[in-house]
Structure formats: C-alpha cells, structure tokens
Chain A
C-alpha cells in the first residue's frame, strides 16, 4: 500500500512530476548518449592510432625506437615470427616493414616524409594501407619502382599518377641513396597529415634501395582484442628473451592517447556529477514544494501515530519512483539513439579540421559501455535519493501542532 500511496501522491500534481521526470530523463539521456559518443571517439582514436602503422604491439631492433636509423634492423623477420607465433591469440595479424625517414622531391617540390616498405598482402587488417588505394593500383610485392602516395601529398606536389617521385635517404652504409619511383596509386586517409607523412613501396624495393638484404625495421602485430595487448606483449617478451629486440605496445608508442584514455574514466565521473548537480537543484526544489504543500497532511499522519522514519521513507519512495521512471525513460532514449547512430555514425564533418587535429574521424560511431550505463543510473538513483533526504527530513520533523498551524 505504501507504493500505491506514493504513486498516487506523485500524480497529485502531474505537471510538476512530469517536469522533474523530464529533467531526470534529459540528465540520464545526456549522460549515456554523450558518453557513448565520447567513448566512440576514443575508440576511433585508438583504432586509428593502431592502424596508422603502429599496431597493438611492435617489435623493433634494439636502439631503433630511440634512433630510427636504418643501421638498426631485424635480420630475419620470419625466424622472429616463428619464435613468437605461440604467443598470438586467435585472429592475430602481423606485418614486417622497412621504415626510414626520407626526402621526396619532384621538379617543383620536396618534403620530408617516411618511406615505408611493405608486403601489401600482409597489411590487410594491420594498417590503413591494407584497405587499398583510392586511385590507380596498389603496389605489388615484387614492384621495383612503384610507389603509392597520399592524396594530400599528391596535391601538395602538384603531381599525378604516372609521374615520377624521387626518394632520397641514408642506406645501411650511411651513404646517401636515392631512387626514382613511379606513382602508381593514391591512398586516402581520414587525416591529411597521414596522407602527407607516408609513402609506400614494396618491401623488396626498399630493402634493395637501402642495402638491407632481407632486413626489416619493424614487425607490427594487431590483435583482435586490444585489451589483450599487455598479456600478449609479455608472452612475446618472454619468447624473445635474450634477443636484441625490443617490444613496445601502443601504450608506449602513443603515450598521449594512453594518458587521455587513463583520465577518460575519471572525466566521465566528473561529467556525470556536473550533470547531476544541475539536476539535483530541480529534484530538491520540486520535492520541497511537494513536501511544503502537504505539511498539514504529514501533521495528520503524525497525529495518527505515524513515526518520523515512516514519513521519511514515504517521501523517499515517491522520489525514488520519479527517479526510477525518469532513469528508465532516459535509458531507453539514450540506448535507442545510440543504436540508431551506431548503424550510420554521426557525421561531424563540419568540425573535421578540429577533429583531425585531435586524431579523430569526422564520422563517429558511438560505443555503448555497460559500465557507463550502470554508473549513470547509479549516480542518478543514489545521489537523487540522497538529495531527497533533505525534503524528506523536513517532512518527518514537523510536529502535528506546527503542521496544523501551517497554511
């Protein structure tokens, strides 16, 4: 009967109840929907960071990380991979690459960039270049002088497919070496900076140009589940113990992203609390109004022998019902919206340049995390009830004599 009475009391002033419910709905909806969007952005930043030739785990020759010179190389990548294959979970993909700083030039322009020698067949699912090219064709494994460049670089160099591009770098003997390549394809990336930074040739061509024989600069490993990175990296480290190789995870290679992700959870809690504080004013105000309007009634109940704790409980039940309905509707709205947006993504291309600067795609796919949903509901329900204690205590403390004098 307590819930029945509370339910009826809630609807004594439907407009007020609906207003406070709307406040709760908007609060919960905002908490869940926007957090999902932010999680989507962070996940996108991570996927993009990993796909931009980083991988979940990277194996470098000792010294290469601090001094990315071609003089450091992994002599036999296949042997290394055979040693660590047992550490790979299912669906693990990998690629070995040659990577060196170079200068590209044509008749009009020149620019510093990173020359990457790849085996195109290995890159699918490992890095963005595995997705193919926008125009022209992808380099093949045995191409000797074919090169794929980014759209932004193509525009910057005012060149096109079929034209030559000269690459100059330092070889294993520390001699300057250069080679003329023919542009055969153009890749697109979501970030223009990526399109300007990387050019791709076949691994064999790069090895030949730089005098590396079968050597590579790195082995990049991508896991199906990023969460397993630490554990797999440890296993690889154990398997390669004693070798002159170094193992890095994306957390080592993308420290800013790692830090951002670490503070993100704390930021969400803070964000929820800020939304709640705004909501709390509405809850307290409305509950106080509801309580003051019914002071005589509370006095009557006390005169009849109702104990203060029961009055306190009855007000909290009313508040709890409003919060629960609001939270439920807010969840439905937020989850519905996230599911709709998750199918197509939300296009933020109007903010593309700013997003690009932060390393985020212009299309964001929200990511609903159960932990956030529980946290949002927990904050609203627990703190909502906590702030309702004040009006409830007011109601429970009134004496019948004071209440009867209340107008």
Chain B
C-alpha cells in the first residue's frame, strides 16, 4: 500500500497579474520505505510538491494522501497534528531552534507530542548517538557546523518514528564530503527503520543515492524511474 499518493494536483501562484503554474496535474505514488528524490531545475516545482506532500501547502485541485489520510478532508489543525506525528522535515537551512541545544532540538517534537521528560531525553540522546553527535548534545546550533546541524535535523525528523521524512535540498549548503556523510546516515535510517525519505534536490549526489528519481519540469513530471 502506498504511503504517499498525489492525485491530479494543480497549484497556481499569482505574482501580480501573472499566474505561475507551479504544479500541473501531478500524479505520484510512493511505497513505504522509499528513498526517492524529486529533482529538476530551479522553478520546476519540486519544493512546491514537497510542501504539498508535507501538508505545508494545499493544492488548488487534486488531493494528497499520506499514511491513508486525505488532505482534502483535513483542516489546518488536523494537518498540524499529522505533521507532528507522521511527517519529519529536514530543510535546507534554518532547521534548528537557535536557543535550544542539539539534544533539546531533538526533544522538541516529542515535547509537542506530550512525551515524558525522561523518555524524551533518552530517545533524543539515542538518536544523537545514531547520527554520531553524542559529544555535541549540549551545543547550540551556532556552535555546530552546517553538517552537524543537518544531522541534528535528521535526528529530530526521525526521533518520533514518522511515516515519511521530507528533505528539501538537505545538502545544498554542505560541501560534498559532508553532504555524502549526511546522505549515508539517512540511507542507513531508511534501511534500518524502513522510514520513507523523499528529497527535493538538484544535487547529483542525492540523485545517485536515491532508489527512485522523479524529474519535474515546468510543474509536470518529466520522468519517473526506479533504480
């Protein structure tokens, strides 16, 4: 059964009098455990599609179904609840809350979920251990490198056992070595925990790592191939 289904999604943005067709009748389905990349040139609609799948934005037409939940039937509060419990996010930048330490950032989602303090700390520390940041648990984001910050973001995305993790250009601000290290960690998570990862990217390394590549052009799927 697919964990993500995108059915006939259209999205038009208006910039003054100009209508920009960001997504045009997108149909897409991803199974649980996928490790997929949505690629394409700038302005092709990959971030918009990722936002749709994450419930951060809603389509003008069509529907998105994640973990069996139809977004068209949900209000903002229900979407927020779904994001909290079933979707993890890794953004390109500004991923972490600057006033919280690494472990507190990882704990934060569990705090919103109402997990007990002791359990939060145990799970967050275990997750930091998995991404190799045990030593840095008490450091604030400003004291971490870009790669370390992204690893904390991955730990936070995974810690609440989501159905999918959406990563919007996660390696864009990293050098290739650090980017590869991050991808390896996410690939391990995908394998070990069977968490679905969907990336938006134009980084060739991410495309190489992905088991499936969806190419977008002008808001439409240009190619969709599995490796």
Contacts and interface: CB of A to CB of B under 8 A. Distances in A.
B181 interface: no
B185 interface: no
Nearest to B85: A305
A303 B83 contact: yes
A304 to B, nearest CB: 6
Contact of B56 (A12, A307, A400): A400
Given A5-B99, A297-B97, A303 B77 contact: no
Nearest to A403: B94
Interface string B96-119: 011110001000110110000000
A134 interface: no
B140 to A, nearest CB: 9
Interface in A296-323: 296-297, 300-308, 310
Contacts of A8: 99-100
Given A305-B85, A305-B112, A300 B94 contact: yes
Contacts of B85: 305
A399 B51 CA distance: 11
B89 interface: yes
26 contacts: A1-B104, A1-B111, A5-B97, A5-B99, A5-B100, A8-B99, A8-B100, A9-B99, A12-B98, A297-B97, A300-B95, A301-B97, A303-B83, A303-B91, A304-B89, A304-B156, A305-B81, A305-B84, A305-B85, A305-B87, A306-B80, A306-B84, A308-B76, A310-B112, A399-B57, A401-B51
A284 B89 CA distance: 32
B99 to A, nearest CB: 4
B54 interface: yes
Interface of B: 51, 54, 56-57, 76-77, 80-85, 87, 89, 91, 94-95, 97-100, 104, 108-109, 111-112, 156
A261 interface: no
A304 B83 contact: yes
B115 to A, nearest CB: 12
A304 B56 contact: no
Contacts of B108: 304
A307 B85 CA distance: 13
A316 to B, nearest CB: 17
B147 to A, nearest CB: 19
Contacts of A5: 97, 99-100
A1 to B, nearest CB: 6
Nearest to B109: A304
A333 interface: no
A297 B94 CA distance: 7
Query: Which 5 A-B pairs have CB atoms at the shortest separation, nearest pair first?
Result: A305-B84, A8-B99, A305-B83, A400-B56, A296-B94
A45 interface: no
Interface of A: 1, 5, 8-9, 12, 296-297, 300-308, 310, 399-401, 404
A304 B109 CA distance: 7
Contact of A305 (B94, B104, B109): B109
Given A296-B94, A303-B83, A401-B56, 13 more contacts: A5-B100, A12-B98, A297-B94, A300-B91, A300-B94, A300-B95, A301-B97, A304-B156, A305-B85, A306-B112, A308-B76, A399-B57, A401-B57
Contacts of A306: 80, 84, 112
Contacts, number: 57
A401 to B, nearest CB: 5
B56 A303 contact: yes
Nearest to B108: A304
Q: In this complex, which of B77, B80, B104, B156 has the most chain A Cβ atoms within 10 angstroms of its Cβ?
A: B80
Given A296-B94, A401-B51, A401-B57, A303 B111 contact: no
Contact of A297 (B57, B89, B98): B98
Q: In this complex, which of B76, B95, B98, B99 has the most chain A Cβ atoms within 10 angstroms of its Cβ?
A: B99
A399 B99 contact: no
A294 to B, nearest CB: 9
Nearest to A300: B94
A302 B112 CA distance: 11
Given A5-B99, A9-B99, A304 B111 contact: no
A399 B56 CA distance: 8
A307 B98 contact: no
A304 B100 CA distance: 15
Nearest to A401: B57
A313 to B, nearest CB: 12
Nearest to A10: B99
